[in-house]
Amino acid sequence: MSRSRIVLKIGQRQARNMRRAVRGRRLTITPLNSLTLDRDDVELANSWLRDRRSWRDQRLVSRYEEEFARWNGSGYASAFMGGRVALSACIHALGLRQGDEVILPGYTCVVVPNAFQYAGVKPVYSDIELDTYGLDASQVEEKITSKTRAILLQHLYGLVCRDYEAILELAERRGLKVIEDCAHATGAEYRGLRVGKRGDVAFYSSEQSKVFNTIQGGIAVTDDESLAKGLRNYSEQAEPPDEDWVDRQLHQVSLNYYRFKHPQRWWKGDLAEVRYGRERLVSTTGEEEQGERPTHYGRRMPSPVAALGLNQLKKLDRYNELRRQGAARWDFWCDREGYGKPYVIEGSLPVYLRYPVMVEPEKKRQRSWAAEGLGVEAGVWFVSHLHPVRRDSIEGCPRADEAVERCINFPTLV
Ligand SMILES: *Cc1c(COP(=O)(O)O)cnc(C)c1O
């Protein structure tokens, strides 16, 4: 966006703020993004911008991988520029190839099937359950063919998926590999183990809308030594992002902090937008929505991003505890308003990246009631079977259809 467009937009927004202030309305609401960014993350990003000498030093990246693995209780970890890239590394490590099939939930992000398609692996969609929005184990079995090699087990909104055990058991019985998509669930536990520990491989995301935040970033883990070699091998072939990209990503830490987190974000956010708005990175590009592989895809993590990851990791347990407290307030709200609460399976400890609720379809289409009445931004994950693609052609997933129409989600760091 050009600077003059940004200035115009900001003028309009501040005029609206004036009108709201006059009418005694609130000027800020709780947003959904970047809620774990604090001033120390901004200072850290700025210190890396001031001194670029160690941008290519991989030692800090190794440290991040080791610390993450230790924190997660995993044997090995490899870090990349996105959860989707970490997924590509998992696909590589498992040796999935042209002609293989993978079973995916028909309610996911488009970048998930993309990662398989880039490797020539065919996604086969299976319906979800509406308790935790994960794959319904009873549906998965029918989708298995002689070409099926793996199942993608997804934990959404920070909940542990209802059929976790059943899917693992099914995969074991049918000789299939399991990839756990923990992009929403970093730190969630089941029977004392972090999610991601039970599948053959797993990946996590530190993209700006996820549980912890390096603006973009992802990490893959495994306990298996030979799969770890595969992850490492993918990482060694990957290039680091170019300096301009890293520069923009580090500036975006300030931009997001002032837009989403700072108490006076109603005006500081606008100032940050004038300064850094043109540098903003989009997570999913138009070409990815079309299923094409962007040229910048498949990069490994550079040290400034690993430094942010290490700083976020220190705060993650505390933020996840706060998210659980925030969720308890939404439980209360659901009871009062007569909506169903998300299902927490026995033995699980969720992290509630967001608090999902099934509401009337018109309340999903028009969400200003949440800002006005509750002071929060209501999220739309997911707007289709393959978010954020508006029109897709996934059929035969009626429960996913229903979630697309009715599931909204609230921020939990309120
Ligand atoms: C965000 C997301 C991903 C991909 O993570 P990125 O870091 O954005 O590449 C994968 N799966 C799900 C369910 C996600 O929400």
154 CA distance to ligand 1 middle (Å): 10
Q: C-alpha 220: how far from its chain's center?
A: 13
101 CA distance to ligand 1 middle (Å): 20
Q: C-alpha 153: how far from its chain's center?
A: 15
Range scoring the smallest mean pLDDT among 75-79, 99-103, 393-397: 393-397
Which amino acid is present at 24?
Answer: G
182 CA distance to ligand 1 middle (Å): 8
DSSP code for 342 = P
pLDDT by residue (tens digit) across 174-213?
999 999 999 999 999 999 999 999 999 999 999 999 999 9
Sign, CA torsion 33/52/63/40? negative
The closest of 184, 211, 203 to 107, measured between CA atoms, is 184
Confirm if 280 and 229 have CB atoms less than 8 A apart.
Answer: no
In short, whether 150's Cβ falls inside 6 Å of ligand 1 is no
In short, whether 83's Cβ falls inside 6 Å of ligand 1 is yes
DSSP string of 246-309, one letter each residue: HHHHHHHHHHHIIIIISTTHHHHHHHHHHHHGGGPPPSS-HHHHTTPPPTT-SPBPPHHHHHHH
Q: What pLDDT is attached to residue 393?
A: 87
214 CA distance to ligand 1 middle (Å): 13
In short, whether 134's Cβ falls inside 6 Å of ligand 1 is no
Q: C-alpha 35: how far from its chain's center?
A: 13
DSSP code for 93 = H
Nearest-angstrom CA–CA distance, 220 and 213: 16
206 CA distance to ligand 1 middle (Å): 9
Instruction: Tell which one of 84, 91, 152, 387 to mutate to probe ligand 1, the residue whose CB is within 8 A of the most ligand atoms.
Output: 84
Range scoring the smallest mean pLDDT among 9-23, 317-331, 335-349: 9-23
Confirm if 223 and 75 have CB atoms less than 8 A apart.
Answer: yes
In short, whether 112's Cβ falls inside 6 Å of ligand 1 is yes
212 CA distance to ligand 1 middle (Å): 12
Q: Atom 7 in ligand 1: which residue has the minimum CA distance?
A: 83
Q: How much of the chain, in percent, has pLDDT values that exceed 70?
A: 100
Q: What pLDDT is attached to residue 280?
A: 87
Query: Mean per-residue pLDDT for 41-62?
Result: 96
Instruction: Tell which one of 112, 201, 305, 384 to mutate to probe ligand 1, the residue whose CB is within 8 A of the most ligand atoms.
Output: 112
Question: Which DSSP helix (H) or strand (E) runs through 190?
Answer: strand 189-190
pLDDT by residue (tens digit) across 111-154?
999 999 999 999 999 999 999 999 999 999 999 999 999 999 99
Which amino acid is present at 403?
Answer: A
Helix (H, G, I), strand (E, B) or coil at 104: strand
**C-alpha angle 254-49-207 in degrees, rounded to nearest 5:** 50
Question: Which DSSP helix (H) or strand (E) runs through 169?
Answer: helix 164-174
Confirm if 185 and 159 have CB atoms less than 8 A apart.
Answer: yes
DSSP string of 34-54, one letter each residue: -TT--HHHHHHHHHHHH--TT
As a whole number of Å, the end-to-end CA separation of the chain is 30
In short, whether 115's Cβ falls inside 6 Å of ligand 1 is no
Q: What pLDDT is attached to residue 3?
A: 75
Confidence check: pLDDT of 221 > 90: yes
In short, whether 299's Cβ falls inside 6 Å of ligand 1 is no
Q: Atom 5 in ligand 1: which residue has the minimum CA distance?
A: 83
Assign 1 a pLDDT band (cuts: 50, 70, 90).
Answer: low
Question: Which DSSP helix (H) or strand (E) runs through 233?
Answer: helix 225-237
Q: What pLDDT is attached to residue 204?
A: 98
83 CA distance to ligand 1 middle (Å): 5
In short, whether 309's Cβ falls inside 6 Å of ligand 1 is no
pLDDT by residue (tens digit) across 265-316?
999 999 998 888 877 899 999 999 999 999 999 999 999 999 999 999 999 9
Instruction: Tell which one of 210, 283, 288 to mutate to probe ligand 1, the residue whose CB is within 8 A of the most ligand atoms.
Output: 210
Take residue 134 and report the two structure tokens written for it: 């994960």
Residue 127: CA count within 13 A, CB half-sphere: 15
Confirm if 307 and 47 have CB atoms less than 8 A apart.
Answer: no
Query: Mean per-residue pLDDT for 97-118?
Result: 98
In short, whether 209's Cβ falls inside 6 Å of ligand 1 is no
Give buried/exposed letters for 297-310 (b at 16+ CB in 10 A, else e). Answer: bbbbbbbbbbbbbb
Q: What pLDDT is attached to residue 332?
A: 98
Nearest-angstrom CA–CA distance, 86 and 230: 12
pLDDT by residue (tens digit) across 5-30?
878 888 888 888 888 888 888 888 99
- Those residues with Cβ within 8 angstroms of residue 161's Cβ, 6 or more apart along the chain or in another chain: 132, 133, 134, 135, 153, 154, 155, 167
- Ligand 1 atom closest to 108 (CA): 13
pLDDT by residue (tens digit) across 209-219?
999 999 999 99
Q: What pLDDT is attached to residue 208?
A: 97
Average pLDDT, the chain: 96
